[in-house]
Amino acid sequence: LAGEHGRDLPFAFDRKEAKDHGEGGVIVGAPLADRVVVVDDVISSGLSVMHSARLIADAGATLAGVVVALDRQERGQGDLSAVAEVQERHGVPVIAVAGVKELVHYLEYECKDTGNAAAIRAYRAQYGAE
């Protein structure tokens, strides 16, 4: 963002386990303040986003949105998709670079990998939201 848009934005990440020495704690990097966008590689059930939202709220900051590389388009904790649950619960946009449906299409038609496409389709039949 700094190079392309002239915006030098702070960032942080959370450890899976708190550290009791050095920087310590769960959050590494800039303090969570103001409006925070969560960036993640994938959203499945939405639990990691909900965890991040709690960390952000506990720090006194506000969740502004979520960006993920891949939306697995799975059900969340209820009948809604994980993305819909996050949007409904937190009132923020969730933007995915790609969805699993696009991945299946790419596997089938660009890579001619019907085996993996079929395996993903079978998995989605059990856990998919859409």
Which residues participate in catalysis according to the annotation?
Answer: 19, 21
Structure tokens at 80: 């809604």
The CA-CA-CA angle for residues 109, 130, 75, to 5°, reads 120
Structure tokens at 87: 């949007």
Q: Are 42 and 94 in contact (CB under 8 A)?
A: no
Among the listed residues 3, 12, 5, the one whose alpha carbon sits nearest the alpha carbon of residue 34: 12
Q: Are 61 and 33 in contact (CB under 8 A)?
A: yes
